[in-house]
Structure 1
Amino acid sequence: MATLLAPLSLVVIAMGRRRRHRTKAHHVCVPVICVGNVTVGGSGKTPLVLTLAQGLQQQGFTPHILSRGYGVKLEKPTQVLANHLATEVGDEPLLLAKTAPTWVYPDRCQTANLAVEAGATILLLDDGFQNPTLYQDIKLLVVDGATHFGNGHVLPAGPLREPLEDAVNRADAILLYGEMADLSWTQDKPIFRVKFVSNQKPRAPAYLAFAGIGRPQKFFESLTKNGFYLQETHSFPDHHVYCEKEINQLLNQAHQQQLTLITTTKDAVKIPLSLQPLIEVFNVSCVFEDPQSFQNWLLKKLEKIK
C-alpha cells in the first residue's frame, strides 16, 4: 500500500516545500518558540508546552500560547476562558489555558499580534512546525522513541507530515521521549530527553480506564506502572468529545463491575461538568531529564534573539 501511495506522497512533499519557500513569514516583536513534530498523532507536544510555559514564567517571562484548536470553527481569534467548552475552543487549549493565556485560531499571525498586544513577552506555538506563516525563532522537534517514524514515508503512504530530513534540518533541538537505538537522523542537533512522571497512587482496588488521545495505550501503561490495576480499558479517537450518554454508560459499567473510572487530564476537560466529579483524573507532568542543561541552552538562544 505504501508503494502504491508513494506518488501522492511526492505531491505532498512538493507542495509543502513550495509553501515554505514562497511564504513570507510574519514577524512579531517577541520571541516565538514552536513545539512541533514530524508525525501525525500524539507525540506529547502539549505536556511539553505546559512545562515550557511554567519554566518561562519562573524565569520572569510572560508566555502566551497559540493553538490552532483542533476540530473547532471560530469566526475570529479567541482567548480561551474558564467558561469555554471543548466544543468551542478545543480540548488542548482548555488544558493549556490553566497554565498560561492561550489563544485559538488557525491564523497564527493574528493570534500572535493579539497576544503581544495583551502583554505577552514570549509566544509558545503548540504545533505548527509545518506552518511557515509565523516566523519561529526557536523550533523544537518532539519525537516519541516508542513509535519512531513508522515506515518512514510521508502522508498518505506513511505517518510523516514531511520528510524527516527536512524537519530535522529546520529544528534547533530534538526533544526525545524514551529511547532510540539509532540517532543518526538527528544531524548532530542538540538532544534533550524528556519523560512523563507522576506520584499519583491508586485510591481504589480496580479501575476502568478510558482515553481519547493519540496513543491511549501509553496512558494505560503509565497507570499500570504507577500501581493501578486496570480491569477494563476503553479507547476513543483522538480529540473525542464525550456526550453525556457515553459517560453514563461508562459509569454504569464501572458500577456493575465495582470499578472506579479514571481518565487523562486532556479527556477530563471534555466531560460534561455535572459528571466530572464522578471520575478520577490521572495527573502527569512532563520533565526534562537534565532540566538545567535545557534551561541553559534555551536562555542562550533567547539572549541571541534579543
Structure 2
Amino acid sequence: MREPAFWQPPSSWLSRLLMPLAAIYGEIAGARMARKGIVVGIPVICVGNYHVGGAGKTPTTQALVALLRELGEAPVVLSRGYGGSLRGPVKVDVSRHQAAEVGDEPLMLARDVTVVISRDRVAGAALARSTGASVIVMDDGFQNPAVAKDASIIVIDGDRGLGNGRGLPAGPMRAPLDLQVARTDALVIVGTGRAADGVARQVAAKGAPVFRAQLAPDTASLKALHGRRVLAFAGIGDPVRFFRTLRGAGVDVAAEQAFADHHPYTADDIAALLAQAKREALTLVTTEKDVVKLRGLPDTEGIVPFAVTLAFDDAAALRMFVMERLNIARGRASNRSPDGA
C-alpha cells in the first residue's frame, strides 16, 4: 500500500468526506485498545507508531535491543510478521526463511537478534520466553491489546509528523490521538524536524519522557558510495525519508524510485532498475530492509545496502527509562500471587 496524498496536510475534500467512517473506526479502535492484555511472565517493551507508514520503528527496535544487551538482558523480538505467509509462532531462521514467509523486517532483524513471528501474539510471547528471553521487544502491536505491555515506546518522524492527524481512512491515525497518548510511556522523535512538536508537548504534559534521535549512516556504506552518483530505491513505509537520509549523508542521489511498503520485488523490477542505472551510469542503493527481499533474484550483487543506526541525543536518559520500566515490571511480577491475583 502507498500512502494517499490526502493523508498529508492541507486537508482535502476527500479526507473530509471520509470523516464519518474515521469516527466509526476510531470508536472501534479505542474500545479494542482498552481491553486488558495477558501477562506473559517476562517484561514486554512495545515499539510502535500512532499512525500507519514508516517512522523509524525498526532502527529504534535495533537500538533498544543493543541497549538491553548492554544491561545484561537477553532480548527477543516479537513481530506479527507482516507481509509474510507464515502464521507462526515460529522462530525466524535467516538461513531457511524468505521475506515472503516471515516478512522483511523480521528477516532483517533476525541477522542480529532472535526473532519470533506470530499472528497470535500471546503464543508468540510463549515461544519467545521458551527460547530464553529475559525481555520481549514487541515490534509494533501498540494498538493490539492481546499482550500486556510494561512499556510502550512510540516513534514519530520529526519531518513527517502525524500527517493530517485524522483517523483511518480519512488520515493515517490508527486510533484517536488522545487515547494513544494516554497509553504512551515514552516518545521517540527521529530527525530534527518540528512536525511532531505538538504531540511531544502532549506526551511531556502527562509526565512521559520525549527522546530525540538521529539516523546515523554506517561508515562502510558511505565508503562504498563515495564519489558515485546513485539511483536510490526503496519499498518501505516512508521512502522519502530514506532518500533524504542519503542526501543528508552527502550521497549524490541522481534518481529515485519509490515502491509500496513491503513491496515484493520481482526479476522484472530489478531488470528495470539495472537498465536505468546502466543507461545513466548510476550505482543502485537501497535499504537493508529491501535487501533481504532481493535474495534469490538474479543480478543483485552490485546493489549497495545503505545501513543506518539510531543515535539518541540523550542515551543516558533512555537507559535510565528502560532500567526503571524493567524494575517496575519485575516488581509487579514478584508481588503477584501464584494464582495470578
Indicate if the aligned counterparts of 1:80 and 1:93 stay in contact, CA closer than 8 A: yes
Match of 1:208 among 224, 227, 231: 231
Distance 2:117 2:321 in 1: 29
- 1:285 maps to what in 2? 309
- 1:18 maps to what in 2? 31
Larger deviation, residues 244-253 vs 154-163? 244-253
Distance 2:242 2:265 in 1: 18
Q: Does residue 1:41 correspond to 2:53, yes or no?
A: yes
Distance 1:276 1:19 in 2: 43
Indicate if the aligned counterparts of 1:141 and 1:168 stay in contact, CA closer than 8 A: no
Q: Does residue 1:58 correspond to 2:82, yes or no?
A: no
- 2:246 maps to what in 1? 223
* Structure-2 change in CA distance of 1:268 and 1:166 (3 Å): same
Indicate if the aligned counterparts of 2:18 and 2:170 stay in contact, CA closer than 8 A: yes
In structure 2, the residue corresponding to 1:222 is in which secondary structure?
helix
- 1:243 maps to what in 2? 266
In structure 1, the residue corresponding to 2:77 is in which secondary structure?
strand
> Would you say how many aligned residue pairs link Structure 1 and Structure 2?
305
Gaps of 5+ in 1: none
Q: Does residue 1:68 correspond to 2:87, yes or no?
A: no
Q: Does residue 1:6 correspond to 2:23, yes or no?
A: no
In structure 1, the residue corresponding to 2:25 is in which secondary structure?
helix
Q: Does residue 1:81 correspond to 2:100, yes or no?
A: no
With normalisation by structure 2, the TM-score equals 0.86
| Percent identity (aligned) | 39
Distance 1:42 1:75 in 2: 23
- 1:164 maps to what in 2? 177
- 2:321 maps to what in 1? 297
- 2:209 maps to what in 1? 190
Note the alpha carbon deviations across 1:89-123, whole angstroms, 9 max, x for none. Answer: 11000111112100112111101001101111000
Distance 1:287 1:234 in 2: 27
Distance 2:37 2:179 in 1: 18
Indicate if the aligned counterparts of 1:206 and 1:231 stay in contact, CA closer than 8 A: yes
Match of 1:177 among 185, 190, 197: 190
In structure 2, the residue corresponding to 1:277 is in which secondary structure?
coil
Indicate if the aligned counterparts of 1:242 and 1:272 stay in contact, CA closer than 8 A: no
In structure 1, the residue corresponding to 2:325 is in which secondary structure?
helix
**Map of 1:256-271 to 2, 5 A cutoff?**
256-271=279-294
Which amino acid in 1 is paired with 2:226? R
- 1:131 maps to what in 2? 144
Larger deviation, residues 123-132 vs 178-187? 178-187
With normalisation by structure 1, the TM-score equals 0.95
Distance 1:16 1:231 in 2: 42
Indicate if the aligned counterparts of 1:54 and 1:99 stay in contact, CA closer than 8 A: no
Q: CA deviation at 1:75?
A: 4.3
In structure 2, the residue corresponding to 1:195 is in which secondary structure?
strand
Match of 1:111 among 114, 124, 134: 124
Note the alpha carbon deviations across 1:64-109, whole angstroms, 9 max, x for none. Answer: 0011111223243111101211111110001111121001121111
Distance 1:257 1:20 in 2: 50
* Structure-2 change in CA distance of 1:20 and 1:224 (3 Å): closer
Which amino acid in 1 is paired with 2:77? I
Distance 2:281 2:164 in 1: 42
Indicate if the aligned counterparts of 1:196 and 1:287 stay in contact, CA closer than 8 A: yes
Indicate if the aligned counterparts of 2:229 and 2:282 stay in contact, CA closer than 8 A: yes
Query: Once superposed, what is the RMSD of the aligned Cα atoms?
Result: 1.5
Distance 1:158 1:111 in 2: 31
Q: CA deviation at 1:204?
A: 4.3
Indicate if the aligned counterparts of 2:88 and 2:124 stay in contact, CA closer than 8 A: no
